Amino acid sequence: MTLVSSASSLSSSSNRSSSSSAHSSKKFSNSSSTKIFYDNFKLKEDSSNFFDQLKYFLSNHPNRKIITSNHSTISTLLLSIIIPISIISIIFWPFFLFFTCLPITSFITFPFFLALSILILFSLAWIPYLLFAQDDLPSHSSYALLLPYSPFMAQRTATTLIRFVISIIRLNWIEVILDYSYRRIIVVGGKKNSQSPILKSNINYHPTGRHRFRKLDVYLPPNRLGPNNSNNHDQVPVHHLNSNFNLAPVFVFIHPGGWRWFDKSHFLQLGLRIRRLGFCVVIPNFVQFPQGRCDESLQDIRHALNWVYRSIGRYGGDRDRIFLAGHGSGAHLSLLTVLKSAIVESIPSSLNSVGIDQSICIPPIEGMILLSGIYDPIMQFQSEVQAGWHQVSALRRALGPTDLRTLSHSPTHLLHWAEDIFDIQCLPAKFLIIHGGLDYDVPILQSHLLSTLLENLNNSSAQRSSCSSSVDSSGEQDSLASYNQQFQKNSKKTISVRFKAFKSLDHLNCLLALMMVTDQKESNQNCNKMIIQEILNLVND
């Protein structure tokens, strides 16, 4: 079974990484917890009731409480020592390398060069660990701090960090920052933008004590001066300069950040650029690790989408034309939200006795725009193990921490596992999947896999529509046969799946294509224009 084999793959990846770090084996591959996982899943695999498994995978199970770091003072002290030493060592390293290459001085300088190289190696590896790997450590940890003590693990982590830094430098972030500052101050009007005719910021989409996490920004479409204050959400806004009173399609963007970083305000450039294309743009905040795990992020995204459906008409948006977009981890959360809702809606009302929470459902989504997304956390975790980044990444801590919870948050595994019960009428009619060929952070194979699975839904739907309902010898139908019978009456459409791969784009360039037009390479400029055109084609078709 796919889920079991994937769990085995996930555990084996953890075991391989444990050979490089003694603590890694305790954190990711505790043998007793793995045995419990297989025992529990075997019971579910042997169960005759398919919907028992369905309820399990769609329910929000209590997760282990997130344990924040109790050693922040120690981490801060080590960082204050390591960072200056690293900078000084990197400055002097080329000089020692030069004198080591000279036959006259090599005998004297080589020991210093070797010691300096080892110091730089461990310093570069320890910095991201001290910053991002100390939250939610296992309670049985015998280490005060989680650090890579193995030189092999340190080498992989340092190499990945250097690659990240190089990719950021190549993106010309000075230009990005200057462009952001200009648009924040001149276009929008500074931080106090509550009166801005373009941006309505920090709107509460769900009453809660977590005000910072449950707010969203709305970028008004062109020719809109502001929201209509009427309580009738279906009423056309009165402040409209277009005599046709047409509402704009809604572009909801779930921001990336590895399930733990960034804020809606960081994507102001994206909101302004997509707005100019004729959209009403919505960018929500949501709970992220370590304040919460994936289930809480999904709940917030559902609340945000429900707010859009209820209230976006006041801001010039058409609630019947919602397009959900995301990049990286944002694409993962977007797709997972839609898939879980579609599975619940695919279950006929006659079978609703399984007791699945109907709050999982979301308003109708016309299309999805997924850029460089993480659709298979198992594959992504294996990639991070090879890069020595799995302890720094929040993937397992945010989506898990157990194997089974991680699998239940895998869009590709849910698509494959629930393929036979999907009613594709409950899914968005259009999917646009975009990925860069130079993306070394998220393997492009994940987008290939997602595209194939979505196409398989069309094939599976066609096969079920051509088959008659199965009836046993006594004339009584089982629950799945009853489901198939109702499915045949309702399923009359196919979903459009467009997968576009751009060989010259890396992970961040796919995001920048929606934020600004860079002047680095002509090929990137062409890709940016093509991505924008693909989005417009998706909306207009």
User: For the chain, which domains are there?
Assistant: 72-133+148-170 (no CATH), 173-469+477-540 (3.40.50.1820)
Hey, which residues does 447 pair with through a beta bridge?
none
Residues 6+ apart with CB under 8 A from 531: 371, 434, 500, 502, 510, 513, 514
DSSP letter at 516 equals: -
**Residue 73 pLDDT:** 80
Q: How far apart are CA 367 and CA 280, in angstroms?
A: 15
For residue 498, what is the enclosing H or E element? strand 496-502
Rounded mean pLDDT of 60-66? 65
Between the CA atoms of 195, 201, 203 and 209, what dihedral angle is there, to the nearest 10 degrees?
A: -120
What tens digit of pLDDT does each residue of 459-489 get? 776 666 555 444 444 443 444 444 444 444 4
Rounded mean pLDDT of 110-117? 92
User: In the 3-class helix/strand/coil scheme, how is 321-374 assigned residue by residue?
Assistant: EEEEEEECHHHHHHHHHHHHHHHHHHCCHHHHHHCCCHHHCCCCCCEEEEECCC
Q: What percent of the chain has pLDDT over 90?
A: 38
Number of helices (H), then strands (E), belonging to the chain: the values are 19, 8
Average pLDDT, whole number, for the chain?
A: 78
**Residue 358 pLDDT:** 60
Rounded mean pLDDT of 239-259? 75
**Residue 317 pLDDT:** 93
Q: How far apart are CA 475 and CA 63, in angstroms?
A: 44
- Unique residue bearing structure tokens 């209590």: 62
Tell me: pLDDT of 247 over 70: yes
Between the CA atoms of 484, 486, 489 and 491, what dihedral angle is there, to the nearest 10 degrees?
A: -60
Tell me: pLDDT of 368 over 90: yes
Rounded mean pLDDT of 70-78? 80
Q: Return the minimum-mean-pLDDT range out of 58-72, 164-178, 318-332.
A: 58-72
**Residue 138 pLDDT:** 65
Tell me: pLDDT of 64 over 70: no
Q: Return the minimum-mean-pLDDT range out of 3-12, 111-120, 132-141, 318-327.
A: 3-12
Tell me: pLDDT of 304 over 80: yes
Q: Comparing C-alpha atoms, which of 441, 340, 353, 326 is closest to residue 392?
A: 441
Give the best-scoring range by mean pLDDT among 64-68, 96-100, 322-326.
Answer: 322-326
Q: Comparing C-alpha atoms, which of 539, 529, 538, 536 is closest to residue 505?
A: 529
SS3 318: strand
310-314 CB contacts, 8 Å cutoff, 24+ apart: 310/233, 311/233, 312/218, 312/250, 312/280, 312/282, 313/228, 313/233, 313/234, 313/235, 313/236, 313/237, 313/247, 314/227, 314/228, 314/229, 314/230, 314/233, 314/237
- pLDDT level of residue 169 (50, 70, 90 thresholds): confident
- pLDDT level of residue 519 (50, 70, 90 thresholds): low
Tell me: pLDDT of 31 over 60: no
**Residue 461 pLDDT:** 66
Tell me: pLDDT of 521 over 90: no
Tell me: pLDDT of 270 over 60: yes
Tell me: pLDDT of 242 over 50: no
Q: How far apart are CA 206 and CA 219, in angstroms?
A: 19
